[in-house]
């Protein structure tokens, strides 16, 4: 659509509305941007989402509590264990149960590995959006190591469904431990490699430094969270400020930016990968032996191998699968620091086996609304940089 | 909390603490005043809007709850402000207080049909503009209504 420009006669150009996506390679899935252009200059940008909408919350209202865990995997599918965690923490809050120590450490390892995997793909995709192909290949290579650990841990690589209300599905064994130790040993040097390629790279700096500046007041007001918020210099990390599981026992630094531009958002993620490795290392050292599930038979099914041998266990298993468990009446909200920011789950329970209402506070959804405000006055190419720096995943945004 | 109750004694219907979460139930017309107060008062400083969401309590009257989840980054506290909205009534938009309320309010409008008064651009966010009905309402069928794209949906009465 081309129309005559009457508003600003200084520019001898026509205003153009450009539809970017929903199948553009840099649209991170199914984002459709309606961009107003004055030459190369962006005059307006309206994100249009909804192409993927799967009605996750409606589905949740019609499932048993334990049946919803696999659906959470498919929200931010780059880091499904984080989504599992936010959901099970919310249910556990309503049930008033605390998982055993060992399960807490395993959950933290799974969540931090998810963060590494999520950030790797985030940075890799960002680089490829701006024309640097090799970083994506490297990031995928390293992400494979993380996915291999998950495969050893629970048999799945992408959609883990690893956490369950009351604990985790499988124990953390020595094979996983060795794979984690290998990752902790290898990855820092690989991240150094990325930095050698990107951090000092002239093109990367030109494309990101000073681009998409978000001042801290705007970031807070817009509901930004996670690395995007911290890049603006706002020191808020749920792992530090409202620690859950064992984060209060772990030593780690919160990465902060100064300028709130795309480059800071990149650096914050780089530092977070290193800090996550640090946390995994500490968890490996401190993880105690013991049970991985709470000792409440209604909530946790019996071990699968016992189901085949014992009639009581078979009945127990059948009751768990077919009827689920009741959750006391009330409302609770639990949130975690997911790779993209605050991932919260709000549950209204009417005392039955199904949530009466389940609301997911998705960080990608909240972060993405900033885009339209930030890119005004920038060049079209900068829109891609800003979009990638917010790292939206559409399974979560369009839930 | 006592300070909040004293300041809005007529407008605050209830304050509950459940599992460590504080929920303030307020009159619909007082939501903006309470939110402004919570944001600016030095003992609360709720500078961050986490989410805006709705709950359908059909057949209760008023039918909907609209919940504003707030967080204070300096004080590290959470408060939920809740108000009840009947069908056909509108809820106040807090976009004037926190810009980030824009999308979650559009989402609540799209899914529940709750109109947020004062919202700068209240339009559907997930569904097409001509979509009929509000899918997260309790009387909307899980499989949707039957039409030429959805042969397995429920028949419309």
The CB density around residue A46, as the number of other CB atoms within 10 Å, is: 13
DSSP string of A351-380, one letter each residue: SSSSEEEEEEE-HHHHHHTTHHHHSTTSBH
**Euclidean distance between CA atoms A105 and A6, whole angstroms:** 62
Residues of chain A in contact with residue B103, where contact means CB-CB under 8 angstroms, are 365-366, 368-369
Neighboring chain A residues of B101 at a CB cutoff of 8 Å: 223
Please state, in angstroms and rounded to a whole number, the distance separating the CA atoms of residues B90 and B112: 12
User: Exposed, middle or buried by CB within 10 Å (0-12, 13-18, 19+), for A66?
Assistant: buried
Note whether B100 contacts A366, CB cutoff 8 Å: yes
Specify the DSSP class assigned to residue A324.
Answer: -
Do the chains contact at B126 and A221, CB–CB below 8 Å?
Answer: no
CB neighbours of residue A199 within 10 Å = 14
Q: Give the pLDDT confidence of B13-65 residue by residue, as tens digits.
A: 889 999 889 999 999 999 999 999 999 999 889 999 999 999 999 999 899 99
Q: Which residue of B has its CA nearest to A30?
A: B126
* Candidates B55, B73, B101; nearest CB to A236: B73
Which value does ipTM take for this structure? Answer: 0.94
- CA dist., res. A19 & res. A33, Å (int): 6
Chain A residues closer than 8 Å to B78 by CB: 333
Closest listed residue to residue A146, CA positions, set A119, A127, A128: A119
Taking CA–CA distances from B127, the nearest residue in chain A reads: A50
Q: How many residues does chain A have?
A: 399
Torsion of Cα atoms, A87 then A91 then A93 then A96, to 10°: -150
Q: Which residues does A305 contact at the CB level (< 8 Å), separation at least 6?
A: none
A359 interface with B at CB cutoff 8 Å: yes
- Residue A291 CA to residue A126 CA, distance in Å, equals 41
Please give the backbone phi and psi of residue A49, each rounded to the nearest 5 degrees, phi first.
-110, 175
> Quick one: CA dihedral A336, A338, A340, A346, positive or negative?
negative
Query: Which residue in B45, B27, B23 sits closest to B36, CA to CA?
Result: B45
Question: Model-level pTM?
Answer: 0.93
- Determine which helix (DSSP H) or strand (DSSP E) holds A82, and give its type and residue range: helix A80-95
* One pLDDT digit (tens) per residue for chain A, 399 residues: 445 555 555 555 778 899 987 877 777 788 999 999 988 899 999 999 999 899 999 999 999 999 999 999 999 988 899 999 999 999 999 999 999 999 999 999 999 999 999 999 999 999 998 888 899 999 999 999 999 999 999 999 999 999 999 999 999 999 999 999 999 999 999 999 999 999 988 999 999 999 999 999 999 999 999 999 999 999 999 999 999 999 999 999 999 999 999 999 999 999 999 999 999 999 999 999 999 999 998 899 998 888 999 999 999 999 999 999 999 999 999 999 999 999 999 999 999 999 999 999 999 999 999 998 999 989 999 999 999 999 999 999 988
A260 to chain B, minimum CA–CA distance in Å? Answer: 17
Is A54 touching B (CB cutoff 8 A)?
A: no
Closest CA to B26 of B37, B16, B38, B34: B34
């Amino acid at each position: 659509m081309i129309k005559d420009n009457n508003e600003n006669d200084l520019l001898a150009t026509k205003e153009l509305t450009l539809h970017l996506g929903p199948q553009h390679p840099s649209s991170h899935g199914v984002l459709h941007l309606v961009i107003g252009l004055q030459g190369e200059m962006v005059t307006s940008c309206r994100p249009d989402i909804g192409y993927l909408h799967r009605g996750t919350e409606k589905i949740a209202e019609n499932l048993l509590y334990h049946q919803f865990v696999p659906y959470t995997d498919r929200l931010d599918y780059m880091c499904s264990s984080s989504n599992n965690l936010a959901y099970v923490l919310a249910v556990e809050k309503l049930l008033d149960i605390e998982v055993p120590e060992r399960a807490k450490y395993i959950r933290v390892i799974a969540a931090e590995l998810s963060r590494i995997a999520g950030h790797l793909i985030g940075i890799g995709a960002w680089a490829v959006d701006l024309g640097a192909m090799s970083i994506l290949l490297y990031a995928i290579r390293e992400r494979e190591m993380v996915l291999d650990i998950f495969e050893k841990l629970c048999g799945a690589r992408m959609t883990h469904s690893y956490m369950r209300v009351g604990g985790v599905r499988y124990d953390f064994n020595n094979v996983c431990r060795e794979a984690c130790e290998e990752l902790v040993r290898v990855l820092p040097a690989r991240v150094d490699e990325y930095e050698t390629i990107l951090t000092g790279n002239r093109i990367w700096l030109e494309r990101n430094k000073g681009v998409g500046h978000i001042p801290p007041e705007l970031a807070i007001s817009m509901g930004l969270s996670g690395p995007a918020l911290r890049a603006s210099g706002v020191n808020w990390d749920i792992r530090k400020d409202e620690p859950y599981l064992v984060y209060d026992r772990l030593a780690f630094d919160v990465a902060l930016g100064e300028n709130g531009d795309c480059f800071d958002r990149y650096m914050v993620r780089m530092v977070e990968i290193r800090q996550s490795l640090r946390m995994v290392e500490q968890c490996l050292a401190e993880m105690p032996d013991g049970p991985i599930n709470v000792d409440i038979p209604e909530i946790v099914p019996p071990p699968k191998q016992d189901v085949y041998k014992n009639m009581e266990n078979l009945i127990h298993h059948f009751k768990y699968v077919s009827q689920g468990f009741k959750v006391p009446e009330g409302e609770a909200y639990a949130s975690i620091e997911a790779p993209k920011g605050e991932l919260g789950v709000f549950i209204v329970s009417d005392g039955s086996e199904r949530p009466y209402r389940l609301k997911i506070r998705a960080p990608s959804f909240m972060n993405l609304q900033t885009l339209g405000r930030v890119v005004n006055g920038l060049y079209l190419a900068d829109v891609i940089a800003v979009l990638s720096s917010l790292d939206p995943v559409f399974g979560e945004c369009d839930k | 909390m006592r300070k909040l109750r004293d300041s809005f004694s007529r407008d605050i219907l209830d304050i509950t603490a459940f599992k460590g979460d504080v929920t303030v139930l307020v009159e619909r017309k007082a939501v903006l005043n309470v939110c402004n107060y919570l944001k600016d008062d030095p003992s609360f400083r709720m500078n961050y809007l986490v989410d805006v969401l709705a709950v359908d309590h059909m057949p209760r009257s008023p039918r909907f709850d609209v919940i504003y989840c707030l967080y204070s980054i300096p004080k590290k506290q959470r408060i939920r402000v809740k108000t009840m909205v009947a069908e056909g009534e509108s809820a106040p938009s807090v976009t004037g207080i926190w810009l980030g309320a824009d999308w979650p309010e559009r989402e609540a409008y799209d899914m529940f049909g709750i109109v947020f008064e004062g919202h700068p651009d209240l339009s559907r966010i997930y569904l097409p503009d001509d979509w009929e009905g509000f899918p997260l309402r309790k009387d909307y069928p899980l499989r949707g209504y039957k039409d030429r794209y959805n042969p397995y949906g429920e028949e419309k009465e």
